[in-house]
Amino acid sequence: MGRVLATTLLSCTLLLFFVPSFSHPLCIDSTAPFTLNSTLKFCSYNGSSCCNSAEDLQLQKQFQAMNISDPNCASVVKSILCARCDPFSAELFTVVSTPRPVPVLCNSTVSVNSSQSSQAATNFCSSVWDKCQNVSFVNSPFAPSLKGQAGLPANSNASKLTQYWQSETDFCNAFGGASSDGSVCYDGQPVMLNNTGTPSPPHGLCLEKIGNGSYLNMAAHPDKSNRAFFANQQGKIWLATIPKQRAGSTLELDESNPFLDLTDEVYFDTQFGMMGMAFHPNFAQNGRLFASFNCDKVKWPGCTGRCSCNSDVDCDPSKLEPDAGAQPCQYQTVIAEYTVNGTSSQLSLATNAKPTEVRRIFTMGLPFTSQHGGQILFGPADGYLYFMMGDGGGTGDPYNFAQNKKSVLGKIMRLDINSIPSAEEIDKLGRWGNYSIPPDNPYKEDRELLPEIWAYGLRNPWRCSFDSERPSYFMCGDVGQDKYEEVDLITKNGNYGWRVYEGPYSYTPPESPGGNTTPSSISPIFPVMGYSHSDVNKEEGSASITAGYFYRSTTDPCMYGRYLYTDLYAAALWSGTESPQDSGNFTSSEIPFSCAADSPLPCSLLKGSSLPALGYAFSFGEDNNKDIFILTNSGVYRVVSPSRCNYTCSKENATTVASPGPSPSNSRASQLSDPYSNLVLLFASLLLLLLGFV
């Protein structure tokens, strides 16, 4: 595979959730927090803040316009206004998805999670009332809305709190809010999270080998059965039945009878092939499936698309040097739609699909022969198609495609494949294929920027997944250039820094005919996890991350909720732990792994060792039982009960030996009808320091 798995960089000092259509809960503004170069003049925040200098100035003008004569009241009102700049301000200013002009003030009905004592916190709302109740000021943010709730600004007339609220109780009921344990409120001081410490990592990860095939992609069957699809890089997809845990059986898969064979269209080489597959969420009703692959326009007439090096991004294909014997944009990336319609009376029971393309979703010419990602996924919460695309190749992204918002390279795109415009509309709008733009994409209304973009600043995303219990957690691995491999938490409009940064490190490209982006001009999101090249394969000095999944199976209860990832060269497996939960604050540690003695297929061992020789770890997979699989060139491995490898797990018992089927009713995701409910504030201001040890 070489470095077909070269992914991007970047990612998240200030981690953020993302839920489609909503900003993340660290800051109200989805482009914040900002890393400040100097202390804000009015609000006095430094380091990381949800305000930049311009917003700080706006708050100062708002405060001055209030014309508050009493200094004690003025001081407390200033702190309340400036709470918007707190690095953990989103929940303070949002209750049940409703924005507020004033943060939730701590009072006796609200749980305390801030930096002050309980006594100080519980009395803060009373303190505001005591200091300001009889003080007049203009445009009071404490005016009630027309519905009798805190929310709408008052008119410009000077007023007192006593003109709006009959008593301290009424005032604090409105601005203290009703809250349960674990909520955050503002007590006049910077907000802090309760951190109970990072749980200790599992003693080890036990694997069994259940298949000998070499696959690049795996997707659980949308019918929720024990079947899954496996695809190889050459362009074939198979439908397999997955054996139960401890059954002693292997994958039921007929290599001679693929579900779909696209080898006539797919161009296969070290850096090329079928990169992704995705099945429509309503596959059982509509039979729609999608393949992402590379093609060679010299060998296949259907391989036609606009070159991604074009006038829109100030790139001239004729001036690109031929790469590995290929001319610029000779190779293309394609997303095509196929169907099982007509092959079965019940589409979910179909055993093959038509190899005839139904619709071309996307086609794009590649400037170079590497770093073109290609994974596709349907968002579990929104049903849109996410398309992961690398920077197109070339050392250091010489044309700076990843930071260019007019380029499709170095991006995660988000497409609506259910609303297909007419051919005339597609031509008029300059689309790359047959799709619409979701209404809440960040650049939908800006004609100067590509509306397909969801996130950017990526080198080559490999692989990405949504947490099955928290769809707001969209994780991607990104292979580094020279130093660092990273895991990023992807959010709407997030900039993951490449090529200004490689992970948490500054990066200077060897050449830059496409110009440069200065560090001060961007607000990069740094990685939540990762590792340095020097930490793996020290002799070769090579590394390439293969990102995985949050482990949500009950098979290994000591792994539950941890994020699993590895390196292409399978030099190590890492377990990422988030603490506190939902904070975005991760620590990761290398986790030992071995092969079960009763593995259905024998595991090859590393020379002179008892460790399994996995070979190249191409991808991870997840089935409908939430069991995790590692796809390697030596076969298919599944995570099994730790006791089968004599690893100790105090949580393991008879009820966790066999993984039960999916239970949507017990999933936290099914309970989160509101994207902000049950969220805990994200912690990230020290993330760069945390990652500095690797």
Task: Give the model confidence (pLDDT) of 97-119 as tens digits.
Answer: 566 788 888 876 544 444 433 34
More confident residue, 605 or 194: 605
**C-alpha–C-alpha distance, residues 380 and 284, integer Å:** 16
Q: Which two tokens stand for residue 183?
A: 């909520």
**C-alpha–C-alpha distance, residues 430 and 90, integer Å:** 37
CA angle 56, 58, 60 (to 5 degrees): 70
Using the predicted structure, report yes or no on whether residue 83 has a pLDDT greater than 70: yes
Predicted TM-score (pTM) of the model is 0.71
Q: Which two tokens stand for residue 316?
A: 């001239």
Q: What are the two backbone dihedrals, phi and then psi, of residue 548, each rounded to the nearest 5 degrees?
A: -125, -125
Given a contact cutoff of 8 angstroms between Cβ atoms, the answer to whether 462 and 547 are in contact is: yes
pLDDT of residue 527: 96
What CATH number has the domain spanning 205-691?
Answer: 2.120.10.30
Tell me the average pLDDT across 436-442: 95
Tell me the average pLDDT across 684-688: 33
- What percent of the chain clears pLDDT 70, i.e. is strictly above it? 81
Using the predicted structure, report yes or no on whether residue 182 has a pLDDT greater than 60: no
**C-alpha–C-alpha distance, residues 380 and 690, integer Å:** 31
* Nearest of 113, 164, 108, 97 to residue 135 by alpha carbon: 164
Whole-angstrom Cα Rg for the chain: 27
Using the predicted structure, report yes or no on whether residue 536 has a pLDDT greater than 90: no
* Nearest of 18, 31, 30, 27 to residue 489 by alpha carbon: 18
What mean pLDDT is reported for the chain? Answer: 83
CA angle 33, 35, 39 (to 5 degrees): 110
Tell me the average pLDDT across 68-90: 88
Residue 651 pLDDT level (bands cut at 50, 70, 90): confident
Using the predicted structure, report yes or no on whether residue 612 has a pLDDT greater than 70: yes
Tell me the average pLDDT across 275-286: 95
Residue 30 pLDDT level (bands cut at 50, 70, 90): low
Residue 89 pLDDT level (bands cut at 50, 70, 90): confident
More confident residue, 470 or 179: 470
pLDDT of residue 535: 81
**C-alpha–C-alpha distance, residues 15 and 413, integer Å:** 20
The residue behind tokens 């007192």 is 160
More confident residue, 406 or 346: 406
Single-letter residue type at 616: Y
Tell me the average pLDDT across 513-521: 93
- What percent of the chain clears pLDDT 90, i.e. is strictly above it? 59
* Sheet with strand 545-550: strands edge to edge: 545-550, 563-567, 573-578, 586-591
**C-alpha–C-alpha distance, residues 164 and 141, integer Å:** 11
More confident residue, 582 or 201: 582
pLDDT of residue 471: 93
**C-alpha–C-alpha distance, residues 567 and 572, integer Å:** 7
Q: What are the two backbone dihedrals, phi and then psi, of residue 426, each rounded to the nearest 5 degrees?
A: -60, -45
Given a contact cutoff of 8 angstroms between Cβ atoms, the answer to whether 559 and 551 are in contact is: yes
Q: What is the DSSP string of 12-62?
A: -SS----BTTB--SS-SSTT--EE-SS--TTT---SEES--HHHHHHHHHH
Where do the domains of the chain lie?
34-86+93-176, 205-691
Helices (H), 195-275: none
pLDDT of residue 98: 61
pLDDT of residue 172: 85
Using the predicted structure, report yes or no on whether residue 395 has a pLDDT greater than 60: yes
Using the predicted structure, report yes or no on whether residue 266 has a pLDDT greater than 90: yes
Given a contact cutoff of 8 angstroms between Cβ atoms, the answer to whether 352 and 343 are in contact is: yes
Give pLDDT tens digits for 445-490: 887 789 999 999 999 999 999 999 999 999 999 999 999 999 999 9
Contacts of 162 (CB under 8 A, 6+ apart): 133, 134
Q: Which two tokens stand for residue 188?
A: 């006049």
Q: What is the DSSP string of 487-510?
A: EEE--TT-B--TTTEETTEE---S
Tell me the average pLDDT across 170-195: 68
**C-alpha–C-alpha distance, residues 513 and 522, integer Å:** 20
The upper half-sphere exposure of residue 352, i.e. CA atoms within 13 Å in the direction of its Cβ, equals 13
Range of weakest confidence among 26-30, 141-145, 240-244: 26-30
Whether the bond into 664 is cis, omega within 30 of 0: no
